[in-house]
Amino acid sequence: MSDLFKWNPAFSINVPEMDREHQVLIQLMNSLNELWTKGAARSELAKALTDLVSYTRRHFADEEAYMLRIGYPDLTKHRMIHERLLSQLDDFAGEFRHSGKLSDDLFVFLKTWLKAHICGIDTKYAAHEQRAKAG
């Protein structure tokens, strides 16, 4: 079994609490992918998908609270990105509830989202904090 996404120390945004949460997200995505790949029962897939959606909501809330604490100026924009990602994830979850099937598109979305979000969007609030500490 190969993981959908592997944590790489280069993905660290140097905010330990967020790095830990990103690693949990990766574990949850990989768990869902593994269950799907091995043809797990619908109930197992449903639980793994629910866990991923729930943790994603928690992570986004934690991240937004963190950005508020550090006075990140693009919090509103980042929050809108979170809302759009959650909407897409909810659409995939709704599709699964209706059909009982997961699509390849879900896993492409997860991989793209995680990499672009952590390696792109999240580095911006981390850089803001580093500049604030230095200045």
- Secondary structure (3-state) at 119: helix
pLDDT tens digits, 17-40: 999 999 999 999 999 999 999 999
Mean pLDDT of the chain: 92
Place of tokens 């269950």: 35
> With contact defined as beta carbons under 8 Å apart, do 114 and 26 qualify?
yes
Q: What is the pTM of this model?
A: 0.92
Mean per-residue pLDDT, 51-70: 96
Q: What pLDDT score does 38 carry?
A: 94
pLDDT tens digits, 113-124: 888 888 788 888
First-to-last alpha carbon distance for the chain, in angstroms, is 46
- Between CA 95 and CA 52 the distance in angstroms is 15
Per-domain boundaries in the chain: 14-134
Domain 14-134, what fold?
Answer: Four Helix Bundle (Hemerythrin (Met), subunit A) (1.20.120)
Q: According to DSSP H, which parts of the chain are helical?
A: 16-37, 42-69, 75-99, 104-116, 122-134
Q: What pLDDT score does 1 carry?
A: 52
